[in-house]
Structure 1
């Protein structure tokens, strides 16, 4: 099997002395694993950074065995943020979510386009707020829609509008900006509460039922804020 596509590098690990086992999220085929021979060489290792956009030529002699990639750089996204730890951690966390939650060889152009959108979000002033909605959109595309607008209740407390989700033994407040999406948010604590809400949903609804560990990359991202 031989094909050509464009993709984003979503994981890599050393294989042998100078090769890498990688996972790419491709435009036409979704997540694909493959070897890159010489992937640790000075010639190409600098652009084999997680999140970078690549042109790949894939070759496999047997559908039941891992194939190999020949790669060329299209856009080196990650190095743009080497001096911005928060945004670099955001890229790492976002790409790792796609690695964990997406299935092998299942194409989803909407997920691919969402990766493209991530880099547009990172150029904006309210990038963190928009990133939280990015995570929610990713979960929705993968079949896990939180549907906050349909489950929240609204109340007035101390002359302020509040939103919450209630159950038989718990009342969980929802940050207003997740419902009133045009709200400006300047308080990092409010944004962190939004990330926590999404993280709790991710953990309880997706990760634990599938015996998956909570991604350390997301913990590191939140700790960087």
Structure 2
């Protein structure tokens, strides 16, 4: 068995004296493990860093075997990703989300979105928005997608303001007002056709929204927790965004050009 694909490295763990087991998010074959011989060598260490984009060739006698990777670097961005807390936590949190999906299950749209986010982790508003959309896409692929297009009570697409914690569906301001204290806020940037970028308040509400449904549908039923990386990313992104606003006096930064 042999194939070649584009991949983003999620992490490595030691295997024997000189080798490592590399965990990749591949474009066409999903999250996939494989051994890299001499992966702990001085030459390979800069290449085998989380966030780097690689061309990988995987070989094994049988498809169900662990197999072995041969690697060629395409984009070594790990050095830049280690320059800010937002990026460091972001890489770890994104890897954690992808580990919720079955190994070797193709998700090419998540690969594409992951690649875009990694290029923008040093831009707090864009990174935060893309991260939230990535979480929504993961929820959808796990079978727990949210419906944010129309009001669950009236069917209207106008003035959507809340998300029902029970159904995961949007609710209009009028219909949801009597139950506002039990509703989750629907941030403006997640509404259909929105052009305004997220400010810190909207981004915090979005993190609460996706975090609630991940906990309810994924972490709690599986008996696991989200870990510290997601919380670290959320706090770092909000802190950086608020600091940028204080320094510039600008309420929101430019909206992302791509989304999940």
* TM-score bin, normalised by smaller chain: 0.7 to 0.9
For residue 133 of structure 1, report the CA deviation from its aligned partner.
2.3
**Aligned-partner Cα distance in 1 for 2:197–2:30:** 35
**Aligned-partner Cα distance in 2 for 1:64–1:220:** 36
**Aligned-partner Cα distance in 1 for 2:64–2:141:** 28
For residue 10 of structure 1, report the CA deviation from its aligned partner.
1.6
Aligned counterpart, 2:162: 164
Aligned counterpart, 2:109: 110
Aligned counterpart, 1:3: 3
Give the 3 Å change call, closer, same or farther, for CA 42–35 of structure 1 in structure 2: same
Kept in 2, the 8 Å contact 1:153–1:165? The answer is: no
TM, length-normalised to structure 2:
0.72
For residue 21 of structure 1, report the CA deviation from its aligned partner.
1.3
Segments of 5+ residues of structure 1 without an aligned counterpart are 155-160
Within a 5 Å distance, the mapping from 1:55-94 to structure 2 comes to 55-94=55-94
**Aligned-partner Cα distance in 1 for 2:152–2:78:** 37
Higher strand share: 1
Within a 5 Å distance, the mapping from 1:1-225 to structure 2 comes to 1-98=1-98, 100-122=99-121, 126-127=125-126, 128-150=128-150, 163-166=161-164, 170-179=182-191, 181-186=194-199, 188-225=200-237
Per-residue CA deviations over 1:80-126 (Å, capped at 9, x if unaligned) read: 2222221232222113211x222122222222222222235447573
Aligned counterpart, 1:158: none
Q: Secondary structure of the equivalent of 1:106?
A: coil
Q: Secondary structure of the equivalent of 2:87?
A: helix
Q: Secondary structure of the equivalent of 2:33?
A: strand
TM, length-normalised to structure 1:
0.82
Q: Secondary structure of the equivalent of 2:149?
A: helix
Segments of 5+ residues of structure 2 without an aligned counterpart are 167-178, 238-260
For residue 76 of structure 1, report the CA deviation from its aligned partner.
1.2
Q: Secondary structure of the equivalent of 1:91?
A: helix
**Aligned-partner Cα distance in 2 for 1:216–1:153:** 36
Number of aligned residue pairs: 217
Q: Secondary structure of the equivalent of 1:148?
A: coil
